[in-house]
Amino acid sequence: MGDLQIKKQTKKYDAVIVGSGAGGGMAAYVLAGAGLKVCLLEAGSMFDPATNSSQLKNPWESPRRGARTKYRPFGDFDGAYHGWEIDGEPYIKAEGTKWDWFRARMVGGRTNHWGRISLRFGPKDFKRKSIDGLGDDWPIGYEDVKPYYDKIDRLIGVFGSNEGLPNDPDGIFLPPPRPRLHELFIKKAATGVGVPVIPSRLSILTKQINKDRGACFFCAQCGRSCKVYGDFSSSSVLVKPALATGNVDLITNAMAREVLTGKDGLATGVSYIDKTDLQEYQVYGKTVILAASTCETARLLLNSKSDRHPNGLANESDVVGKYLHDSTGAGMGAIIPTLFDRKRYNEDGVGGLHVYTPWWLDNKKLDFPRGYHIEYGGGMGMPMYGFNWGIEDINGKFLVHGKQKEAGGYGKSLKEDNRYFYGARIGMAGRGESVARRDNYCEIDPTTVDRYGIPVLRFHVKHSEYEFAQARHMKQTFQEIFHSMGAVVTHGNKDSAANDWGLDNPGNVIHEAGTVRMGSDPKTSALNKWNQAHDCRNLFCVDGSSFVSQADKNITWTILALSMRASEHIVEEMKKQNI
């Protein structure tokens, strides 16, 4: 390294945005569209699905046949760069606690590979404390967010069906795809035991909505990101058009170090390290918008200490880093004997489930406070690494073409078994709401820095009895549905306290939220209802960090709606010269 010096940008932007995922991409899109000059900092590299996606590659085009690596934890063709572990960027877990932290480093962030499950929060989801006395109410309600959900439904596109459900609001939906065969089985069985099954709601274009994006062509590979932009990712749907306005300077490989503030305590810009030349830079703006992801945003704020903000920026309330919570997750797998030796046809469909189960029960009658939804998987998918792995646990348990075989085996008989069992496996996954608690938190580790010298996070997160009870209920429900359809459970039904009742580690579902929560009271919240810091009026956080609670709904659609809402507010306030 040469002489270290800090390079200061002379250009002053209207806004400096940190992070180009759902929240940052939307902010850039809205601000640039309104004519404001934006500097968009992204810690990862450039990514455009049209060029960089592995869509339609065959399994043999990967030397590991799609197996996961530390660079691609969801498999070799997945659309996310990096994930649980990044060389030189550690994070710490306090003793006796668990936290899995997925960090995609690329333009568009995790939206390049996510499941596209795009659920609106319902009226109850903003007012949980009023219902069950736990956590806190949001300072806003569904009626405040609904106009923005409507706008992003139209702007981005989502398929689904209007069911008139009280807490799973109707939307402006494209037509959903017809259920696959196993999904018809699931629907029949689940409905029979009182569990509703409705079309899923995914931000995938079953019809073309504008000239810039193609329609879905049903390859089931949304996880790889879509070359024709037939699904939503921030890179293709928000960042690309934002750049086309000419109002955005996108700086990739820019790892934000700190939010800069002036003597008056207001934000003046962001300092960052360029990962390609390892030099230090500062960039200035009239407003700073953080969307670095729930935990990175908290880290940035906690690392932005000054005389005016000795406890970190936006942290006079001392809530930054607190109330960290992820969706709960638990799954179970089974095999459907009636599907053995099934007829072959192209069953890819869209990337993910065509049907799902929204939360359907009343928690007042249950021993846990919040709900969950159920996601379903299965079908005749692309053979990848791990194909029929563990067949020795299956092929002795069922007759194959009427013949009882010894488990395991080899040879022509094994080839017959592989054909016979193909496409008969199904899976269920529950995704539920955990209760945000002050004592689940991240903080700056007192001794550890990353390769850039930036202090890292230490996590203290534990599931509570609420989540364990919810997981037990999920598993009972899954077993009941499987049983009702004549499916035989193959895994996920042997849980106990020793494995946290089958719950995924906190963080593992990658729906983390809550670290810079909004609220009406500056003593108990960091942001106001416009995602604006109580103690720094030109600082906004527009990612999942602002969430008070996260419902049993995947949070991306609400991140997008709240970011659009905050960004339009910023535009208005700038016009009025309030910022």
Partner 1 sequence: MDRRKSIKALVVGTLSTGVLIEACKTDDKKQPDQAQPATADAVTRMPEEQVADKELREEKFFTSGELATITVLGDIIIPRDEVSGSASDAKVTEFIEFMANDKPEFRTPLRGGLRWLDLQCLNRYEKQFRDLDEKQQLEMVDEIAYPAKAKPEFKQGVAFFTLMRNLTMSGFYTTEMGVKDIGYLGNRPNQWNGVPEDVLKQYNVAYSEKELKECVSFDKTA
Footprint of partner 1 on residues 550-579 (CB under 8 A)? none
Query: CA end-to-end span of the chain, whole Å?
Result: 39
Between 168 and 500, whose beta carbon lies closer to partner 1?
A: 168
Residues 6 or more apart whose CB falls under 8 angstroms from that of 132 comprise 363, 369, 370
Classified as helix, coil or strand, 92 is: strand
Question: Which of 52, 515 has the CB closer to partner 1?
Answer: 52
Q: Which residues are bridge partners to 12 per DSSP?
A: 284
Of the residues 192, 194, 390, 486, which one makes contact with partner 1 according to CB under 8 A: 390
CB of 55 to partner 1, least distance (A): 7
What is the pattern of x (binds partner 1, CB under 8 A) and - over residues 154-183? Answer: -----x-x------------xxxxxxxx--
Choose, by CB under 8 A, the member of 46, 172, 414, 489 that binds partner 1.
414
Q: Is 217 in the site for partner 1 (CB under 8 A)?
A: yes
Question: Nearest Cα to 203, choosing from 102, 51, 327, 350?
Answer: 350
Beta-strand runs (E) in 425-543: 425-432, 441-449, 455-460, 488-491, 532-533, 536-541
Largest CA-CA distance found in the chain, in angstroms, rounded: 81
How far is the C-alpha of 511 from the C-alpha of 516, rounded, in Å?
15
Q: What is the SS3 assignment for 98-160?
A: CCCCCCCCECCHHHHCCCCECCCCCHHHHCHHHHHCCCCCCCCCHHHHHHHHHHHHHHHCCEC
Under rule CB under 8 A, which residues in 419-458 are in contact with partner 1? 419, 422
Are the CB atoms for 21 and 293 separated by under 8 Å? yes
Phi first, then psi: what are they for 130, rounded to 5°?
Answer: -65, -25
**Binder of partner 1 out of 46, 131, 382, 489 (CB under 8 A):** 382
Is residue 72 a contact point for partner 1 (CB under 8 A)? yes
The answer to whether 403 contacts partner 1 (rule: CB under 8 A) is: no
Site for partner 1 contains 81 (CB under 8 A): yes
Q: Concatenate the DSSP letters of all residues of 497-522 into one string.
A: GGGGGGPPPTTTTS--B-TT-B-S-T
Does 2 sit near partner 1 (CB under 8 A)?
no
Rg of the chain over Cα atoms, rounded to whole angstroms, equals: 24
> Which C-beta is closer to partner 1: that of 54 or that of 528?
54
Binding segment (CB under 8 A) for partner 1, from list 205-213, 252-260, 495-503, 557-565: 205-213
Q: Is 279 in the site for partner 1 (CB under 8 A)?
A: no
Within residues 316-345, the interface with partner 1 by CB under 8 A covers 338, 342-345
Site for partner 1, residues 484 to 523, rule: CB under 8 A: none
Residue range at the interface with partner 1 (CB under 8 A); choices 218-226, 288-296, 312-320, 517-525:
218-226
61, 277, 318, 439: which one binds partner 1 (CB under 8 A): 61
The minimum distance between CB 66 and partner 1, in angstroms, equals 7
Contact letters for partner 1, residues 233-272 (x by CB under 8 A): ----------------------------------------
**Minimum distance, C-beta of residue 84 to partner 1, in the bound complex (Å):** 15
Burial of 25 (0-12, 13-18, 19+ CB in 10 A): buried
The least CB distance from residue 460 to partner 1, in Å, is 30
Q: Which stretch binds partner 1 (CB under 8 A): 114-122, 141-149, 278-286, 389-397?
A: 389-397
Smallest distance from the beta carbon of 269 to partner 1, in angstroms?
Answer: 29
Which pair of tokens denotes residue 369? 């406070």
Q: Is 376 in the site for partner 1 (CB under 8 A)?
A: no
Size of interface with partner 1, in residues (CB under 8 A): 86
CA distances from 456 to 254, 281, 416, 509 (A): 17, 20, 53, 21
Region binding partner 1 by CB under 8 A among candidate stretches 56-64, 89-97, 247-255, 534-542: 56-64
d(CA 332, CA 429): 7
- Per the structure block, which two tokens stand in for 181? 């065969």
Smallest gap from Cβ 106 to partner 1, in A, equals: 9
Q: Considering the complex, what minimum distance in angstroms separates the CB of residue 252 from partner 1?
A: 13
Separation of CA 230 from chain center: 18
470 forms part of the interface with partner 1 (CB under 8 A)? no
